[in-house]
Chains A and B, each alone.
Chain A
Amino acid sequence: MFRTKKGQLLAQILWGLFLFTLFFFLLSNMFANFKVQQLSFGYSFLQEEAGFEIGDSLWSYSASDSYLKALWTGIGNTLKIAFIGNIGALILGLFLSICLLVPHKLLQFLSESFLQVIRNIPLLLQLFVWYALISELLPPIRQSWEFLPNVFLNKRGLYLPWFDGSLPVLKGLNFQGGAHLSPELLALCLGLIIYTSVFMAEIIKAGVLSVEKGQWEAGHSLGFSYAQTLRLIIFPQSLRVIIPPLTSQFMNLTKNSSLAVAIGYPDFVSIVNTSLNQTGRAVELIFLLMLTYLFLNLCISWIMNYFYRRVLKWNL
């Protein structure tokens, strides 16, 4: 990049100096501002009592628990969304991609149109729409819509039987027992799943189409149907092209789960936001926030890389 070794060295030294001065400048400003506002840098505040409730949590949590526990609860919720969302999006994406690939013109056309509509509208707007639909159009709790045995849908969310055997039963103003998905969680999952599935469907479709035509011809000449060829011959080969961009989508969904803060679902970002407003510890908390997401993305990337290496070993 630079003509001589001296030039390279000089450029790096200058850049290093620049970074150093920048950090120094920023940090000194930070400490000066801390002094003025009588704050300090430190994570000891995490032990203090949080003082706010969290509507949804994987484990028990109350307002008297520490900030640290509150943050962990938030991470738990984010993981919950990421888990449900990614699996749901993948399934729906697979289904959509089949719709795009089968030789049925009307189906393909409608699927493409659906794709275009979902792709071109911001995710946040879609989340708001879902939330509005759920909170305005669903019946009140007393007139819940039981669309499957023991599964109820109403303004306050989705109630369904849980693995520990309990069934939701309406007692007075509320359901007891069973599992409950709040309207915020429902809206978030629906929105995320549908939005991300569209991108995944495109990726899967592109991957399938990238397999050379000869493979289709070989399948046909062996007597396989379209569906069989797709499933047994084409799809395994398409994984090589599909997995990297699909990994990106998994990470995107995980990052997009942060939009929960706009709907009022207490995910990690939401709880960081509340804690931030209460304690004013912006620097420490946002630092934690970014670290957590980086770590989550690293995990996803590692897991997918493991699969990818296995797929590559199929000696294509």
Chain B
Amino acid sequence: MELINKNRQKRKKLFSLFVSFLLISFLGLLGFFILKSLWLGTWTGEAQTCRTSGGFCFSFLREKWRYILFGSYPDSLLWRPILFIFSVILGIFFSFFRFFWKKALIFYYWIFLVLFSPLFLWGIGGEKVEISLWGGLPLTLFLSFVGIGLSYPLGIFLALMRRDGPFLLKYSSIFLIELVRGVPLISLLFMASVMAPFFFPTGMEINKTLRALGAIVIFSAAYMAEVIRGGLNAVTQGQREAAHSLGFGYWKMNFLIVLPQALKIVIPPTVNTAISLFKDTSLVIIIALLDLMSTAKLAVSDPLWLGMSFESYVFVALIYFAFSFSFSQLSKKVERSLS
């Protein structure tokens, strides 16, 4: 018996070592490849030098970073989107510290980012810049933050309707939620870009970016509504009974007692949904809006710089990863401190 056990242990250890060996050699190869690309990377010069060197073409980024990041926003007014991006990063940074977890933070996020930012990007401190000229990272952040921000109250409303509403409101809510969740975001974006103009009064035009934003808001609201509904169900019935017995009506009960608890309970899935939506904004390339993804792709189509798609995509992937990863780490941190 003992021998069999010892053999089993030996085999397990050998296998484990084998796996380690495989993984380390894989990592080694990967590391070698990355280091080689960086070492041979060209920082100066044009496309020719890049192609011959075989390394990572940093000069491509040197040329194109401004376009990839900002699209066709007029150069002289670039301070606006830069400030906007910076304030977003600042907000995320502060959110990591418990010290700042006060009502003011929510205020900051909401008022500044959701309401202020469009004005900021569009009008203040100089001439107005047409929405159609917004592009790159600011557009992605705009669509994400404003989209998710506006969708949250709508989602709360839909969740309450679905859960407690009278017949017509309840089934309207269910219909909308299940319809929106059952179709790809692309179809909603198509609706916004191609189909929606048919439904506006003849001659009235709403900017495509705003229409896409509307589609994103509705899409996001449906998913948020389901997450929030989970939270509403998680709050024990006793809370509602206690509120009732103190004389609270439906709306006061929800806003003062139930929702504060429900929303806190579902912070992790809420943030996950928000991160997914942030990534989904990349789909607006399909309806020809110039977000970060589009500018990355377009930068490569420049005939002088063909074949640099890898560099462009890696650059943009790093940016997406940075934002997305920070948010998920933030959510884990909030989750840990709440338990």
A and B touch in the complex (CB under 8 A): yes
Interface residues of B in 255-289 (CB under 8 A from A): 275, 279-280, 282-283, 285-286
Contact present for A104 and B194 (CB under 8 Å): no
Judged by a CB distance under 8 angstroms, whether A215 is at the interface is no
Enumerate B285-339 residues with CB–CB distance to A below 8 Å: 285-286, 293, 296-297, 307, 309-310, 313, 316-317, 320-321, 324-325, 328
Q: Is A212's beta carbon under 8 Å from chain B?
A: no
Chain A proximity of B130: nearest CB distance (Å): 24
Per-residue 0/1 for A259-284: is the Cβ within 8 Å of any B Cβ (1 yes, 0 no)? 10110000001001100100000110
Of the candidates B168, B285, B320, which one forms a contact with A121 in the assembled complex, judged by CB atoms under 8 Å apart? B320
Interface size class of A (residues with CB under 8 A): 35 or more
B187 at the interface (CB under 8 A from A): yes
Say if the beta carbon of B200 comes within 8 Å of chain A. yes
One of B172, B286, B316 near A125 (C-beta < 8 A): B316
A34 close to B23 (CB less than 8 A): no
Partner of B202, one of A29, A119, A289, A298: A29
Residues 19-40 (chain B) with a chain A CB within 8 angstroms? 19-20, 23-24, 27
Chain A residues, CB < 8 A from B285: 124, 262
Question: CA of A298 to CA of B178 in the docked complex: distance in angstroms?
Answer: 10
Q: Which B residues lie within 8 Å of A225 (CB)? A: 8
List CB contacts (< 8 Å) of B152-191 with chain A.
160, 164-169, 172, 179, 182-187, 190-191
Q: Give which listed residue, A12, A34, A124, contacts B293 with CB less than 8 A.
A: A124
Contact (A282, B199) CB under 8 Å given A19-B172, A104-B19: no
Q: Beyond A107-B19, A294-B183, is A128–B313 a contact (Cβ under 8 Å)? A: yes
Complex CA–CA separation, A259 to B194 (angstroms):
17
Out of B8, B186, B282, which one reaches A122, CB within 8 Å?
A: B282
Residue from B167, B202, B250, B293 within 8 A of A32 (CB atoms)? B202
Measured in the bound complex, the distance between the Cα atoms of B309 and A128 in whole Å is 9
Flag if A29 contacts B201 (CB, 8 Å): yes
Instruction: Given A12-B168, A106-B24, A125-B282, verify A286-B191 contact (CB < 8 Å).
Output: yes
Q: Which of A30, A107, A273 contacts B23 (CB 8 A)?
A: A107
Let me know if B23 and A106 touch, CB within 8 A: yes
Q: Which of B182, B198, B286 contacts A261 (CB 8 A)?
A: B286
Contact with B along A290-305 (1 / 0, CB 8 A): 1001100110000000
CB distance from A108 to the nearest CB of B (A): 11
A216 to B270 CA separation, bound complex (whole angstroms): 32
Min C-beta distance of B192 to chain A, whole Å: 10
Evaluate contact between A282 and B198: CB separation under 8 angstroms: yes
A312 at the interface (CB under 8 A from B): no
Given contacts A26-B199, A283-B195, contact A124 B282 (CB under 8 A): yes
Question: Is A136 in the interface zone, CB < 8 Å from B?
Answer: yes
Q: Given that A120-B321, A286-B195 are known contacts, is A8 also in contact with B310, CB under 8 Å in the complex? A: no
Is the Cβ of A269 less than 8 Å from the Cβ of B202?
A: no
**CB closest residue in chain B, given A276:** B194
In the complex, what residues of A have CB within 8 A of residue B187's CB?
258, 269, 286, 289-290, 293
- Counting chain A CB atoms within 10 Å of each CB, the highest count among B166, B275, B316, B320 belongs to B166
Across-interface contacts of B19 in A (CB, < 8 A): 104, 106-107
Cβ-based interface call for B16 (8 A): yes
Taking a contact as CB atoms under 8 Å apart, the answer to whether B169 and A11 are in contact is: yes
Given A262-B285, A276-B194, A286-B195, verify A8-B184 contact (CB < 8 Å): no
The CA-CA distance from A123 to B276 in the complex, in Å, is 10
Contacts of B20 in A (CB 8 A): 104, 106-107
Asked if B313 contacts A258 (CB within 8 A), the reply is no
* A55 interface residue (CB < 8 Å to B): no
Cβ-neighbour of A12 out of B169, B249, B317, B321 (below 8 A): B169
With an 8 A cutoff between CB atoms, is A36 at the interface?
yes
Within the assembled complex, what's the spacing in Å between the Cα atoms of A283 and B187? 12
Whether A293 pairs with B184 at a CB distance below 8 angstroms is yes
CB distance from B216 to the nearest CB of A (A): 14
**CB within 8 Å for A104 and B172 given contacts A120-B328, A293-B184:** no
Contact, CB under 8 Å: B199 / A30: yes
Judge if A132 is at the interface, Cβ distance under 8 Å. Answer: yes
A58-90 interface (Cβ within 8 A of B): none
Residues of the B chain whose Cβ atoms lie less than 8 Å from the Cβ of A306: none
Give Cα distance in the complex from A242 to B271, angstroms: 21
Is A1 located at the chain interface by the 8 A CB criterion? yes
B183 and A255 form a contact (CB under 8 A): yes
A77 to B185, CA, bound (A): 19
Across the interface, do A124 and B283 meet the contact criterion of CB distance under 8 Å?
yes
B200 touching A125 by the CB < 8 A rule? no
* Residues in A neighbouring B297, C-beta threshold 8 A: 128
Compute how far the CA of A76 lies from the CA of B34 in the bound complex, rounded to whole angstroms.
41
B residues 195-209 with Cβ under 8 Å of A? 195, 197-202
Q: With a CB–CB cut-off of 8 A, which chain B residues contact A256?
A: 184
Interface positions of B (Cβ within 8 A of A):
8, 16, 19-20, 23-24, 27, 160, 164-169, 172, 179, 182-187, 190-191, 194-195, 197-202, 249-250, 275, 279-280, 282-283, 285-286, 293, 296-297, 307, 309-310, 313, 316-317, 320-321, 324-325, 328
Binding site for B on A (CB under 8 A): 1-3, 8-9, 11-12, 15-16, 19, 26, 29-30, 32-34, 36, 104, 106-107, 110, 116-117, 119-125, 128-129, 132, 136, 225, 251, 255-256, 258-259, 261-262, 269, 272-273, 276, 282-283, 286, 289-290, 293-294, 297-298
Query: Apart from A132-B313, A286-B195, what are 9 other A-B pairs with CB-CB below 8 Å?
Result: A1-B160, A16-B168, A119-B324, A124-B285, A124-B293, A132-B310, A258-B184, A286-B190, A289-B183
29 contacts between A and B (CB under 8 A): A1-B165, A1-B166, A3-B250, A12-B168, A12-B169, A15-B172, A19-B172, A26-B199, A110-B23, A123-B279, A124-B285, A125-B282, A125-B317, A128-B297, A128-B313, A129-B317, A132-B313, A136-B309, A136-B310, A225-B8, A255-B184, A255-B185, A259-B186, A259-B283, A261-B286, A262-B283, A283-B198, A286-B195, A294-B179
